[in-house]
Structures are given as C-alpha cells and as structure tokens.
C-alpha cells in the first residue's frame, strides 16, 4: 500500500517519530513518502491509500504549517484513512489535567481545520535542553522542575517516547488500513 507520512516539528522529536513510522511501514513492504511540511506542503493526497499526519504542541497549539496543510487538503484527507499523531509532553503525564489539556488542544485544532481524523494518538515527546534557545531553556527548565514524580536533569535531553508502544499502535492501524483495502 502507499502511505504518506507528513509532519511538522519544532525541535525535531516529531520528525524522529515520523521517520520511525515511515521506516516501519517501509520494512513491512509498503511504499512511503515522508514529507516535512516546513519544506513543502504541496502534494496530491489521493495518490496515497492512507495518511499519517504528525505535529507537536507548543503552548497549546500545533504548528501553523500543519494547520495550513490540513485546511488546504481537507476534502482529500476526508477521502482517505487518516491517523493523527499528536506529540507533547502532556502525553507523558499521568494526571487527569494532562489528558483534559490534550483533548482541548485537539478540539481547538478540529475547530480551526474541520478535520476529524479516523484515529488520534497522543505520543509522548521529549525535553531537548541541549537545543533550546535561552528563553525556551528557562521555560522548559521550570516545567521540568514541576514534575514531582520523576526528577529531570536540565543539562541533558530526555526522551519520553515509547517506541515499542508506537510500533504496536502503527502495526494495528496499518493492518486495519490493509484489511479495509482488501475488502474494497
């Protein structure tokens, strides 16, 4: 099958996640196009059997490039099986407040774009202290200091992405897409 994996990233973790998905699908024998929405947002969605879109949350919002891409391609996206990967640090949290915050971000995005993906998955991202600018570093250092369950060293990057969980979810979603394709 032919998959499109398009992503928006600010510090690079969503790019790593999108690449991981593209590699796994390719290893399973599928054809995959990996598209960084910051480079090029022009593509014919209908060339693909299914689409993964990934973006990360910064101060409650996904990247503008992701929103623009979804808005511009809404009609075609609605004709394909779609998976939305929402990357954030709240996805690594265990509090009800984290879950509600994420639902709110999804609602705001859905209202802005009109897109209802077939499946939405919250993927835990990363602290990338070694690449933040001055202001981001101190803002993120403060956020890290609020994590009471697990101390975070602000001198090292810290990844929360559950790669095995992501692989299992992707396998589940892509087999569903294949089954639908063979029944069509």
- Identify which of residues 99 and 119 has a Cβ nearer to ligand FMN in the complex: 99
| Residues 1, 14: Cα–Cα separation, whole Å | 23
Residue 5 is a binding residue for ligand FMN (CB under 6 A): no
Among 21, 32, 66, 87, binds ligand FMN (CB under 6 A): 87
Among 51, 66, 70, 126, binds ligand FMN (CB under 6 A): 126
Binding window for ligand FMN (CB under 6 A); candidates: 19-27, 109-117, 136-144, 166-174:
136-144
Residue 11 is a binding residue for ligand FMN (CB under 6 A): yes
On whether the CB atoms of residues 174 and 31 are closer than 8 A, the answer is no
Binding window for ligand FMN (CB under 6 A); candidates: 19-27, 31-39, 84-92, 150-158:
84-92
Cβ contacts of 63-70, under 8 Å, gap ≥ 24: 63/8, 63/9, 63/10, 63/37, 63/38, 65/8, 65/37, 65/38, 65/41, 66/7, 66/8, 66/37, 67/109, 67/112, 67/113, 68/41, 69/6, 69/8, 69/37, 69/41, 70/113, 70/115
Binding window for ligand FMN (CB under 6 A); candidates: 24-32, 52-60, 146-154, 175-183:
52-60
Task: Please report, as ranges, the residues that interact with ligand FMN according to CB under 6 A.
Answer: 9-14, 56-60, 87-90, 125-126, 136, 139-140
């Amino acid at each position: 099958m032919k998959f499109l994996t398009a992503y928006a990233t600010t510090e690079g973790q969503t790019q790593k996640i999108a690449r991981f998905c593209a590699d796994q699908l390719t290893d399973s024998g599928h054809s995959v196009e990996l598209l960084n929405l910051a480079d090029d947002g022009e593509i014919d969605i209908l060339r693909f059997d299914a689409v993964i879109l990934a973006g990360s949350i910064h101060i409650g919002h996904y990247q503008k490039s992701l929103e623009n891409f979804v808005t511009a391609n809404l009609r075609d996206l609605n004709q394909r099986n779609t998976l939305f990967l929402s990357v954030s640090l709240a996805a690594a949290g265990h509090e009800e407040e984290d879950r509600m915050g994420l639902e709110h971000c999804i609602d705001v995005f859905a209202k802005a774009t009109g897109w209802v993906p077939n499946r939405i998955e919250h993927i835990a991202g990363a602290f990338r202290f070694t690449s933040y600018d001055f202001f981001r570093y101190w803002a993120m250092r403060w956020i890290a200091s609020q994590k009471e369950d697990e101390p975070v060293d602000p001198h090292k990057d810290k990844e929360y992405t559950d790669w095995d969980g992501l692989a299992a979810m992707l396998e589940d979603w892509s087999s569903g897409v294949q089954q639908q394709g063979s029944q069509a």
